[in-house]
Amino acid sequence: MRSLVLEYIDEVYHDVLGDREGSVADYIPQLAEADPESFGIALATADGYVYEVGDSRRGFTLQSISKPFTYALALADRGVEAVGAKVGVEPSGEPFNEISLDPAGGQPRNPMINAGAIACASLVRGDTAADRFERIRRFYSQFAGRELSSNEDVYESEHRTGHRNRAIAHLLRAVGVIEEDPEISLEVYFRQCAVEVDCRDLSLMAAGLAAGGVHPASGERLLSPVLTERVLSVMTTCGMYDAAGDWAAQVGLAAKSGVSGGIIAVLPGQIGLAVYSPRLDRYGTSTRGALTCRRLSQELGLHFMHVGRAARSAIRASYDLTGNPSHREHSAAHLDVLRRHGSRAMVYELHGDLLFAATETVIREATARAGELELMIVDTRAVGEVADVSRRLLLGLRDQVLEHGCEVVLVGSGASFDAPQAESVVEHYLIMSDMDTAIAYCEDMLIARHSAE
């Protein structure tokens, strides 16, 4: 069956194809060889499905799109603090190749400009340039889901002509940000820039970041959630250099461009987008790439400030036990007890992901009612992700309502409360795997307590 999504992306592709603004980078001689007409789009979902249009399998070099990934590896190798002592996270508002160092300490402003990226290349573990580059190459390959390699001609070309980057590296050595022979850091940096990918690879690399550091197809964890968040934050504020503010306003996706004509754009939890077309605007970003990202973001509602359904109530349904929801055969006397006292037991059926905002609505509703209740059933069978803060809040809810004499029964496998807090949640709540048992339990409690009245 034809894919409506693919048809839509194809339509965008054909609209943008007519744009011939900008020019191909030639300051690295080998890059000038690129076909200016080439244009590919790949969109990967956070679960690894890839939609591809145009030259999505044509190879090109990563260039600056390598920077967020090497930054990630440096963070994983050395820790946030050690990397932070060498490289800042402030947008520089300046071009990518600016010699942009903090006036006080000499640190590069951020890891997305060349100065910061060369410093990060010096921080990745590995004694020789070859060892270190091999670790970097493997890390990128894991994100792409296939073995990537460096384009020797592009590497040679930049190594021979990259005088400005050489100046930056030596300056970083002079102020102590780089502690090794700067030629080693430069070799690693030039090689990482020359790693060859296509749009499909890039979309998966972007989707890996979108999925919180997990490869979308294999499910393998490549980067911790905390470090992924940090990388995406820095991409958001610094990834598009001196156009970062405009990009955040118009496109609203964490992104990184490279002078060979590639762009990646990430919407956390949802998609990884990659575009390739070598003609660049004055910021060194692919013109067709930027147009494509802007259009897809606007038409698909991908802007990260878009107010979606994430904060809607997690309570799908709530009801009390006056209506005998278990439909059990009760004696007339017991039915009468339920009719009179059933409102003292409430059922809350939850759904969606229990992130902070959604959980807050549950807690607010449940605590407001707790004074009138003896029993509360919280049905989590339809719940997806449970954030740590939500586990804590639900535990707090249990303690709080118990003080008012209300007992909480949790319905679910307990799987949504998996490690590491699982034990504590399961211990504190009475946990039942099906709703009928939970409701029957609560009915029996009410009948036992109130029959004599």
Positions annotated as catalytic residues are 64, 67, 189, 241, 259
Q: How far is the CB of 209 from ligand GLN (least distance, A)?
A: 18
Interacting residues with ligand GLN between 168 and 207 (CB under 6 A): 193
Interacting residues with ligand GLN between 379 and 438 (CB under 6 A): none
Binding flag, residue 110, ligand GLN (CB under 6 A): no
Do residues 120 and 108 touch, judged by C-beta distance below 8 A? no
Q: Which residue number, 211 or 280, has a Cβ lying nearer to ligand GLN?
A: 280
3-class secondary structure, 348: strand
Residue 157 to residue 149: CA distance in whole angstroms: 16
Q: Which residue number, 158 or 379, has a Cβ lying nearer to ligand GLN?
A: 158
Residue 156 to residue 318: CA distance in whole angstroms: 66
Q: Which residue number, 96 or 133, has a Cβ lying nearer to ligand GLN?
A: 96
Q: Which residue number, 285 or 326, has a Cβ lying nearer to ligand GLN?
A: 285
Candidates 51, 96, 140, 276: give the one binding ligand GLN (CB under 6 A).
Answer: 96
Q: Which residue type does 167 have?
A: A
Interacting residues with ligand GLN between 248 and 267 (CB under 6 A): 258-259
Candidates 92, 97, 150, 416: give the one binding ligand GLN (CB under 6 A).
Answer: 97
Q: How far is the CB of 259 from ligand GLN (least distance, A)?
A: 4
Q: Which residue number, 15 or 94, has a Cβ lying nearer to ligand GLN?
A: 94
Residue 359 structure tokens: 């959980």
3-state secondary structure 87-147: CCCCCCCCCCCCCCECCCCCCECCCCCHHHHHHHHHHCCCCCHHHHHHHHHHHHHHHHCCC
Terminal CA-to-CA distance of the chain, rounded, Å?
A: 65
Candidates 151, 165, 277, 390: give the one binding ligand GLN (CB under 6 A).
Answer: 165
Q: How far is the CB of 228 from ligand GLN (least distance, A)?
A: 22
Do residues 204 and 44 touch, judged by C-beta distance below 8 A? yes
Q: How far is the CB of 416 from ligand GLN (least distance, A)?
A: 43
Do residues 425 and 410 touch, judged by C-beta distance below 8 A? yes
Task: Count Cβ neighbours within 10 Å for each residue of 93-109 and write b for 16 or more, e otherwise.
Answer: eeebbbebbeeeeebbb
Q: How far is the CB of 31 from ligand GLN (least distance, A)?
A: 9
Q: How far is the CB of 67 from ligand GLN (least distance, A)?
A: 8
What is the secondary structure of 252-287 as a DSSP string? -SEEEE-TTSEEEEEETTTEEEEEE--EE-TTS-BH
- The closest of 299, 83, 286, 68 to 177, measured between CA atoms, is 83
- The closest of 138, 136, 114, 113 to 125, measured between CA atoms, is 136
Q: How many CB atoms lie within 10 A of CB 182?
A: 23
Binding flag, residue 239, ligand GLN (CB under 6 A): no
Q: Beginning with the edge strand found earlier in the chain, give each strand of the sheet holding 254-257 in spatial order.
A: 50-54, 40-45, 271-276, 262-267, 254-257
* Torsions phi, psi for 298 (to 5 deg): -65, -45
Q: How many CB atoms lie within 10 A of CB 417?
A: 24
Burial class (CB in 10 A: 0-12, 13-18, 19+), 385: exposed
Q: How far is the CB of 94 from ligand GLN (least distance, A)?
A: 12
Q: Which residue number, 30 or 228, has a Cβ lying nearer to ligand GLN?
A: 30
**CB nearest ligand GLN: which residue?**
64
Residues in CB range of 74: below 8 A, 6 or more apart? 83, 111, 120, 123, 124
Q: Which residue number, 52 or 98, has a Cβ lying nearer to ligand GLN?
A: 98
Q: How far is the CB of 258 from ligand GLN (least distance, A)?
A: 4
CA distances 427 to 98, 267, 438, Å, are: 57, 37, 16
The residue behind tokens 């959630």 is 225
Per-residue x/- marks for ligand GLN, 111-130, CB under 6 A?
---x----------------
Binding flag, residue 290, ligand GLN (CB under 6 A): no
Candidates 213, 278, 284, 289: give the one binding ligand GLN (CB under 6 A).
Answer: 284
Q: How far is the CB of 112 from ligand GLN (least distance, A)?
A: 9
Number of residues that bind ligand GLN (CB under 6 A): 11
Q: Which residue number, 150 or 165, has a Cβ lying nearer to ligand GLN?
A: 165
Binding flag, residue 64, ligand GLN (CB under 6 A): yes
Binding flag, residue 377, ligand GLN (CB under 6 A): no
Q: Which residue number, 110 or 114, has a Cβ lying nearer to ligand GLN?
A: 114
Residues binding ligand GLN (CB under 6 A) = 63-64, 96-97, 114, 158, 165, 193, 258-259, 284
